[in-house]
Structure 1
Amino acid sequence: MNTWWPYARLAASALALAAVIAQLSRSIENAVANTTEWGSHMPTVAANFLSFFTIDSNILAAIALAIAAIWALRHRDTTDAEPRWIAILLVCASTYMIVTGVVYNTLLRGIELPQGVTVPWSNEVLHVVIPLLLLLDVLFAPRRRALGWSTIFIAAIFPIVWVVYTLVRANLIIAPATGDHWWYPYPFLDPHRVPGGYLGVSGYVVLIAAIIIGAAALVVWVGRRRGIRSTPEA
């Protein structure tokens, strides 16, 4: 497994990037074809694209997998555990991708989108395939380093920042597709669509926070069970 796992990581990284690029190309095509001022405003379209948690998570996953694979290939003659910073990066990427898979397939799978907005194969790769591959990486990747429980809080930093950013930015943006004076990347964060407004949104935020903490705890626990400890960890 030590010999071929880095190549599997590189392949998964390339697949994630290909899916992101395919969806970005579709988003740009739609913006170019849009006849409204707000719908064809490329800086907003690009910023919105990068404001999706799914996109950010897949980009991070691609980077983490590539870095871990390159490190393993450069140190193939040793049995050392991966460096701590790579292990933390993988915990974060794995947590976010597992959450992406769970949230999409439980809350968003059945939501109808306008024809041509998404690239079907890319959508499945970003929301199903890469999450599953990251889960397999957690369970079976060799040379994983066992980390302390404090890593859970490190993994929670980005989602907290992302939620705050999303809710603040939302009312400063005109939605490209509708012209509404707000834009939310996901319907469960939109107080105009969620029953109870911001109170209802806060319920979803708490639920997703619990999923993130649970996923991070699972990833760290598995790492502590099967990983290599170089020094005692809290």
Structure 2
Amino acid sequence: MQTPAPDGAASRPARFAIATRPWAIVRLVGAAAILAAVINQLVVTMGNALQSTTSYGSHLPTIVANFLSFFTIESNIWAAVTLVIVAVWSLRPPEASGTGSTEPEPRGIAILLACGSTYMIVTGIVYNTLLRGIELPQGSTVEWANEMMHVVGPLLMLADVLLAPRRRRLGWGVVGVTAIFPIVWAVYTLVRANLIINPRTGARGWYPYPFLDPANVGGYGGVAVYIAAIAVAIIAVGAGVVWVSRKRGS
């Protein structure tokens, strides 16, 4: 004999599903807007390169590789792809996965979200405190795309941390996971920098951000200070994202 559900219990999954579906739509729309911003800026950057009168300024493989070497671009792509993945997962009917509609997101997706949220929030903080108003070496800036990638996108990912349904409770070890990609990116950037011809000047050496160029910050000691400060920010934000997951998740 089946035990009747407590009053209102039968309707809880349905109410939860109603909350889940609109947020999945928000995630998909946000991902589309982020990817549109990245693509728009890339197209403009490539168009500027094609108009260059020098061989080094019009070398598209270098231009595209440089564009994709910005932490901003990588974090936005990471966030957009992850938002699509989790939105598609959350829109599946419960019977498709054999779980109830209140089942938290899979651990792998939860970690991808934690990393994407951390990187986007840090991107927003770093840009708006250190880089706003400074011309970056990607060509003409597309204003709406710039704001999407540095303001709207980070705020969307912050909202996802604070509001999204079906969040999983993460362990503190995930904070260390969030630090892996930025470390790899910093090493890659500093090693690659002096192997690249600057598309603007034709001289050897290209840095995506002014604070990574030793000539701008008093040498590699100054670069190390900035990298250390950003590392602290990434760990702090990552810890905050995990802390929220532990408060909200299941």
Q: TM-score range by the shorter chain?
A: over 0.9
Q: Residue 25 of structure 1 corresponds to which residue in structure 2?
A: 43
Structure 2 counterpart of 1:202, one-letter code:
A
The within-5 A match list for 1:104-183 is 104-112=127-135, 117-183=140-206
Aligned to 1:134, what secondary structure does the other structure show?
helix
Structure 1 counterpart of 2:244, one-letter code:
V
Aligned to 1:4, what secondary structure does the other structure show?
helix
**Structure 1 residue aligned with 2:125, among 89, 102, 112?**
102
Distance of 1:225 and 1:172 partners within structure 2: 46
Please say which of residues 5-14 and 77-86 is displaced more in the overlay: 77-86
Identity %: 63
Tell me, which stretches of 5 or more residues in structure 2 are unaligned? 1-18, 95-99
Q: Residue 216 of structure 1 corresponds to which residue in structure 2?
A: 238
Aligned to 1:145, what secondary structure does the other structure show?
coil
Deviations 1:28-59 (A, max 9, x none): 10110011111101110010011000000000
Structure 2 counterpart of 1:138, one-letter code:
V
Which structure has the greater CA radius of gyration?
A: 2
- Cα pair 2:137 2:208 within 8 Å, conserved: no
Deviations 1:112-164 (A, max 9, x none): 45896111110000000000000000000000001100001111100000000
Please say which of residues 182-191 and 112-121 is displaced more in the overlay: 112-121
Structure 1 counterpart of 2:160, one-letter code:
D
Q: Residue 15 of structure 2 corresponds to which residue in structure 1?
A: none
Structure 1 counterpart of 2:91, one-letter code:
L
Number of residue equivalences: 227
Q: Residue 84 of structure 1 corresponds to which residue in structure 2?
A: 107
Distance of 2:169 and 2:45 partners within structure 1: 40
Structure 2 counterpart of 1:214, one-letter code:
A
Distance of 1:48 and 1:204 partners within structure 2: 21
Please say which of residues 111-120 and 154-163 is displaced more in the overlay: 111-120
Q: Residue 232 of structure 1 corresponds to which residue in structure 2?
A: none
Instruction: Calculate the TM-score normalised by the size of structure 1.
Output: 0.94
Instruction: Calculate the TM-score normalised by the size of structure 2.
Output: 0.88
Distance of 2:148 and 2:22 partners within structure 1: 22
Distance of 1:115 and 1:31 partners within structure 2: 10
Q: Residue 46 of structure 1 corresponds to which residue in structure 2?
A: 64
Q: In structure 2, do the counterparts of structure 1 residues 159 and 7 end up closer, same or farther at CA, with 3 Å as the change threshold?
A: same
